[in-house]
Amino acid sequence: MEHPPTPSQTVGPFFHLGFFGPRTLGPLAGAGAKGLRVSLICRVFDGEGAPVPDAMLEVWQANAEGRYRHPDDDQEKPLDPAFNGFGRFPTGPDGSCEFVTVRPGRVPGLNNSLQAPHLNISLFARGLLKRATTRLYFAGDPANAEDPVLALVPEERRNTLLANSVDSRPGNWTFDIYLSGEHETVFFNI
């Protein structure tokens, strides 16, 4: 008797139970963290434009000096004791989550290049077999034109990686993630 392989299972409707509540990590930057404080509202939508109420964003970023809190980052830039640089944030009924951090500094890229300030985001949600990985860049930052990763993205799709400033609230940004469809966010295969 042969047993054919079974398909991978997507995460079911109770995905959020394993990730939220006391296991949620944050904040990325404590009250005394150095650098320009920013508030980010990230919203997750499905291909039809409906909010995804039980997704989880995992965020990893460098501090204001451009150094990650990780043993493999051995740059001579200072670490900030009030800066964690990693957090997990659940989306609510409207598909959004909000968190405060500092604007990251530029980190080294390939061939002695510098990457523009960005946040690395992994998205977990029901219906996904693996995490979806993307980046958040800040719209209007002149360093975006020099970023080697952003340069890999077709120009007409780069706007899906840009957070936009909320004019009525200085230091506040919004970032929309579309899982599929006409406005699909660029995701990286890493």
Residue 116 lies in a domain: yes
Work out the mean pLDDT of the chain and round it to a whole number: 88
Percent of the chain surpassing pLDDT 90: 73
Residue 85 lies in a domain: yes
pTM given for the model: 0.87
Report the domain count for the chain. Answer: 1
Residue 70 lies in a domain: yes
Q: Residue 125 burial (CB < 10 Å; 0-12/13-18/19+)?
A: buried
Q: Summarize pLDDT for 138-158 with one digit per residue, the tens.
A: 999 999 999 999 999 999 999
d(CA 156, CA 176): 16
* Average pLDDT over every residue of 4-31: 57
* Average pLDDT over every residue of 19-27: 55
Residue 184 lies in a domain: no
State residue 111's pLDDT score: 87
Report the CATH number at residue 147.
2.60.130.10
For residue 148, the enclosing domain spans 29-178
Residue 190 lies in a domain: no
| Residue 175, both tokens | 């970032």
The 3-class secondary structure across 36-92, one letter per residue, is CEEEEEEEEECCCCCECCCCEEEEEECCCCCCCCCCCCCCCCCCCCCECCEEEEECC
Over 90: is that where the pLDDT of 23 sits?
A: no
Residue 144 lies in a domain: yes
Residue 187 lies in a domain: no
